[in-house]
Chain A
């Protein structure tokens, strides 16, 4: 899987949470991320899609080392950031930034907008004083806000505007990579569209690379070049956006696509397509999708499917699909 032109390479990433269970001596880990590998080329947008609890946010935070993984490698510009000491990691931080989901919680309410957006520039000693203020003004303009907004506090803005502030903060250091974790989920539909357009414009202007995380496949497909579908800590399918939509191979991907309400009366969801099989026993081994899978075979119980090539740069982890 050696990608010589990858800006970001994640290799066999694992994050397990160990919980002490009452009245039990065994420590069963919660496998939030269970062996995920992916690569993103410079200028590419990789969409990471999955429902709640699949591990996508954990991966997003691990990529910037905001969470310490249990094992694996994260190569950014060919350096394993998990091996770096604090000082070296700090030097890399301007090149990798994060956009958070909740515009109400991700901005310090006691800081003015100008201070929030300019903080990175200060802390990394890039520019100061008048020059910094000029840069902040420019960036605010780029995200559709006014220079005067620098003197106001976050609570004076709407959700969509706050998200623009968060985006301004993320691009202030001209990063190479941005991890966007559900950046539009908390916003109204009409504002979502504005912010998506903004993210796409900025990508073109600054040559950004995105890891775009969302549960909404429509949005992910809209903005991504390639898409990775996650289920219970693992990637189950990965392909180019159009290809994934035209030829979904994994039963979970098909379920996701079938479940999305289409704005088309002729295409109302067929209830049979989203009915859940449910086998009460989900074995420790084998495929984790078993209880919900309509194509379940004996092999699925014992052998965990690997992510394998299905042709056309399309990979899938399923015994049935291949």
Chain B
């Protein structure tokens, strides 16, 4: 049995605001193995982005704080590191790409400068070598004419190209883990398909693990190996991708799957999840999903359920998982 590259144990990240405490991530556990793609999927406010930022310790503090848990990367607990040591991890062992490439790329530097920055910071090479590496990376992410595009500014590139440039930046030091936060949400569907496939191809080549954060189940289906479905700061279901379709065992996951119109079926009224995501300051007692759940019973309101083991690799946070779905 392979050792995990990243182990998240009982991670809780809270935000302390005037109105109250937002338990954005609450007692979250999962692992990522070398070379695999794990997707954290959920709707807005579920805590998936905060989880990604917590791993790289990029949570603004105040008002945020990682209140408990361990983030074990290659055996080391990242939460024990000094900031200087953490800087050696970011962009080097663990990299991150973000949703809006225009706001995540520095508009006053060329993309070449931004790619070279990480290389020069983490590797002992001269500028000439760094520039060569940058051109190689741009070519790798299939940006046309990399020798000239390297000197372009972000605003001169299209959305898809900017996202590729950001991927080039993130991969320039061959990280072991890439955290991709909604990498294709801002892109047109045809460009999205290309970027997803590029990501899959490169990660296979580099044997790199990816934590893919998204709200789009379609994107998950395209490239993920395993999935963790999140809701209101908690993991509701955790399984390999095939299992999610063949044997979904959580009513929230089922609801999400049913909400998506299919191209192949005839139009019908969609089975919707009634109500809306709860206010994070004022979460329901018991299971956070029970007010919207078609399987909910009295017991669901009393105590928050643990993650039940459905089988070897499949877990569900629902006391009625056997009857689901």
Q: For the A-B complex with A193-B259, A193-B260, A258-B193 known, give 19 more contacts whose Cβ atoms are closer than 8 Å.
A: A52-B188, A158-B277, A188-B277, A189-B217, A190-B259, A191-B276, A193-B261, A193-B271, A194-B274, A216-B189, A217-B189, A222-B270, A260-B189, A261-B216, A261-B222, A264-B221, A265-B242, A271-B194, A276-B190
- A290 to B272: give the CA distance in the assembly, Å: 41
- CB-CB nearest in chain A for B267: A222
Residues in B with CB closer than 8 Å to A161 are 276
Interface of chain A, helix or strand or loop or mixed?
helix
Residues in A with CB closer than 8 Å to B261 are 193, 196, 218-219, 221-222
Using a CB-CB cutoff of 8 Å, which residues 188-240 of chain B contact chain A? 188-190, 192-194, 196-197, 201, 215-219, 221-222
Residues in B with CB closer than 8 Å to A256 are 189-190
Question: Can you list 23 contacts pairing A with B, beta carbon distance less than 8 Å?
Answer: A51-B190, A52-B159, A188-B43, A189-B216, A189-B256, A190-B259, A190-B272, A193-B261, A193-B271, A193-B272, A197-B269, A197-B272, A221-B267, A222-B261, A222-B267, A222-B270, A261-B216, A263-B218, A265-B242, A268-B221, A268-B222, A269-B222, A271-B193
A262 within 8 A of B: yes
B241 within 8 A of A: yes
Per-residue A-contact encoding for B118-146, CB less than 8 Å = 1, 0 else = 00000000000000000000000000100
A275 within 8 A of B: yes
B263 within 8 A of A: yes
**7 nearest CB pairs, A to B:** A261-B218, A222-B261, A51-B188, A193-B259, A259-B193, A188-B43, A193-B270
Total residue contacts A-B, CB cutoff 8 A: 120
B103 within 8 A of A: no
Interface size on B, residues (CB 8 A): 43
Given A51-B190, A190-B272, A278-B144, CB of A260 within 8 Å of CB of B197: no
B262 within 8 A of A: yes
A183 within 8 A of B: no
Residues in B with CB closer than 8 Å to A260 are 189, 218, 263
Residue from the list A193, A197, A257, A278 in contact with B263, Cβ < 8 A? A257
B44 within 8 A of A: yes
Residues in B with CB closer than 8 Å to A223 are 267
Interface pair A197/B218, CB less than 8 Å apart: no
A308 within 8 A of B: no
Residue from the list A158, A197, A257, A275 in contact with B276, Cβ < 8 A? A158
Interface pair A190/B43, CB less than 8 Å apart: yes
B294 within 8 A of A: no
Using a CB-CB cutoff of 8 Å, which residues 276-293 of chain A contact chain B? 276, 278
Per-residue A-contact encoding for B260-302, CB less than 8 Å = 1, 0 else = 1111101101111110110000000000000000000000000
Per-residue B-contact encoding for A170-188, CB less than 8 Å = 1, 0 else = 0000000000000000001
- A259 to B273: give the CA distance in the assembly, Å: 27
Residue from the list B159, B201, B259, B263 in contact with A245, Cβ < 8 A? B263
- CB-CB nearest in chain A for B222: A261
Given A215-B188, A258-B193, CB of A189 within 8 Å of CB of B259: yes
B245 within 8 A of A: yes
- A318 to B144: give the CA distance in the assembly, Å: 27
Residues in B with CB closer than 8 Å to A264 are 221, 245
- CB-CB nearest in chain B for A223: B267
Query: What bracket does the count of chain A residues touching chain B fall in?
Result: 35 or more
Residue from the list B43, B189, B267 in contact with A189, Cβ < 8 A? B43
A310 within 8 A of B: no
Interface pair A255/B222, CB less than 8 Å apart: no
Interface pair A263/B188, CB less than 8 Å apart: no
B257 within 8 A of A: yes
Residues in B with CB closer than 8 Å to A258 are 193
Per-residue B-contact encoding for A48-63, CB less than 8 Å = 1, 0 else = 0001100000000000
B274 to chain A, nearest CB (A): 8
Residue from the list A52, A190, A218, A242 in contact with B255, Cβ < 8 A? A190
B42 to chain A, nearest CB (A): 9
Given A260-B189, A264-B245, CB of A189 within 8 Å of CB of B215: yes
B275 to chain A, nearest CB (A): 9
Given A196-B270, A264-B245, A265-B242, CB of A190 within 8 Å of CB of B189: no
- A149 to B113: give the CA distance in the assembly, Å: 52
- CB-CB nearest in chain A for B266: A242
A313 to chain B, nearest CB (A): 19
- Most B CB within 10 A of own CB, among A223, A263, A268, A271: A263
- A216 to B219: give the CA distance in the assembly, Å: 14
